[in-house]
Amino acid sequence: MSDILVKAITKGVRVYAAVTTDLVNEAIRRHDCYPIAAAALGRTMTGALLMAANLKNQEAITIDFRGDGPLGSITADATPDGFVRGYVHNPHVDLPLNAQGKLDVGGAIGQGLVTVTRFTGLGEPMRGSCEIVSGEIAEDLTNYLYVSEQTPSSVGLGVLVDKDFKAVAAGGFMLQPMPDADEEIISRLEENLQKVRPVSAMIAEGKGPRAIIKELMAGFDMEFLSSTELSFKCQCSKERLEDVLLNLGHDDMQSLVEDGHAEVCCHFCGEKYQFSREELQKLLDLADGLR
Ligand SMILES: [Zn+2]
């Protein structure tokens, strides 16, 4: 089953659900993530895809967790056409299981800020931040949407990691009552949410996004809208990474030229780009010309 995001609506509520197991495995492979980092990054990337689903074409979203825990920062970028990329600062963090016997994502993230940036393509990006509540990601995004964007939502995210460090099930949902939703609908939604199973358990059973929406919205008559294929994709290129070299000082750049070779790694996707002595010399001349 490939990774897919499905949108559905019913009177007064919109619901998005996504299965992201393959793209989370791609991120684990690219960044060599241990389980806690895999869960934290996988949830953040899935959350970014769900939030990006509300954007228009050409728009994009970045979610950035900056906590004081051992994982350091986590960043994910997503677009409404189903592309996501992301990285975690310390992918090799290992902590004991938490009191519930689960991966301690909250402890690994710690306290700090979650920042969401929407790139509209026109004018300045729109940025909002709020305090990290639990570091468990889904709760933090639910809180962010309510506090910073005044959008009551319920976000559920899950990544199940196996002993061999692979994700066996990853995905999530985002449910948003519309401003005109009446009290009766809201209280039925709350009842459903109290009973809902972890989304990773549904995916581990083989459920896709439509089946997740049906389980989550039991008793509601859902209308299914679009579905979008999802994948890990980075926009990096050798040209874009030249900027990293151009921003080095003259002396650092000169020593790279003397080494005769440099490798620049894209931190979003782990792709490595090689620069020869001639290419480095050209960039040094260009940078010196701009100084
Ligand atoms: Zn990249």
Looking at residue 269, which CATH number applies to its domain? 3.90.1280.10
95 & 191 share domain: yes
Q: What is the percent of the chain where pLDDT is above 70?
A: 100
Tell whether 219 and 242 lie within a shared domain: no
Question: For residues 41, 47, 49 and 53, what is the CA-based torsion angle, rounded to 10 degrees?
Answer: -170
- Encoded tokens for 221: 């008559």
Domain carrying residue 252: 238-290
pLDDT the model gives residue 248: 87
Distance from the alpha carbon of residue 20 to the mean position of ligand 1, in angstroms:
19
Q: Is 68 in the same domain as 172?
A: yes
Q: Answer with the one of 213, 232, 251 that is the final residue of a domain.
A: 232
Q: Which two tokens stand for residue 97?
A: 């299981």
Q: How many Å lie between the centroid of ligand 1 and the Cα of residue 273?
A: 10
Per the CB < 8 A criterion, the answer to whether 134 and 106 are in contact is yes
From CA 89, how far away is CA 70, in angstroms rounded?
Answer: 9
Number of domains in the chain: 2
Expressed in angstroms and rounded, the spacing between residue 6 Cα and the centre of ligand 1 is 26
Give me the pLDDT at residue 44, please. Answer: 98
Measured in Å, residue 241 CA sits from the centre of ligand 1 at 9
- Domain final position from 202, 232, 262: 232
Same domain assignment for residues 258 and 208: no
pLDDT at 238 (0 to 100): 93
Tens-digit pLDDT profile for residues 85-143:
999 999 999 999 999 889 999 999 999 999 999 998 888 899 999 999 999 999 999 99
Question: Phi and psi at residue 195, in whole multiples of 5°?
Answer: -90, -10
Per-residue pLDDT tens over the stretch 185-209: 999 999 999 999 999 999 999 999 9
pLDDT number for residue 1: 55
Contact 283, 242 (CB under 8 A): yes
Q: Would you state the pLDDT for residue 80?
A: 96
CB hemisphere CA count around 113 (13 angstroms): 8
- Band (pLDDT 50/70/90 cuts) for residue 150 is very high
Q: How far is the CA of 267 from the centre of ligand 1 (A)?
A: 7
Quick: pLDDT tens for 222-244: 999 999 999 999 999 999 999 88
Rounded Cα–Cα distance for residues 87 and 212 (Å):
27
One domain for residues 115 and 250: no
**Shared-domain flag, residues 245 and 142:** no
Statement to judge: residues 78 and 144 lie in one domain: yes
- C-alpha of residue 40 to centroid of ligand 1, in Å: 19
Distance (Å) from CA 77 to ligand 1 centroid: 11
Same domain, 159 and 278: no
Residue 271 CA to ligand 1 center (angstroms) comes to: 6
Distance CA 26, CA 155 (A): 23
| 165/249 same-domain check | no
- What's the 263 CA to ligand 1 centre distance in angstroms? 13
Compute, in angstroms, the gap from residue 53 CA to the centroid of ligand 1.
22
Cα-to-centroid distance, 236 and ligand 1 (Å):
4
- Angle among Cα 211, 215, 219 to the nearest 5 degrees reads 125
Summarize the confidence of residues 68-81 as an average pLDDT: 97
Burial of residue 207, with CB atoms counted within 10 A of its CB: 0-12 exposed, 13-18 middle, 19 or more buried = buried
| Same-domain status, 243 and 218 | no
CA of 86 relative to ligand 1 center, distance in Å? 9
From the list 40, 73, 54, the residue with the least C-alpha distance to 5 is: 54
* 206 and 261 assigned to the same domain: no
Model-level pTM? Answer: 0.94
Q: Distance, CA 284 to ligand 1 centroid (Å)?
A: 23
End-of-domain residue from the set 209, 232, 255: 232
Distance CA 162, CA 141 (A): 25
Tokens representing 20 are 């992201």
Which CATH number belongs to the domain containing residue 105 in this structure? 3.55.30.10
The count of other CB atoms within 10 Å of the CB of residue 181 is 17
- In this structure, the answer to whether residues 25 and 89 fall within a common structural domain is yes
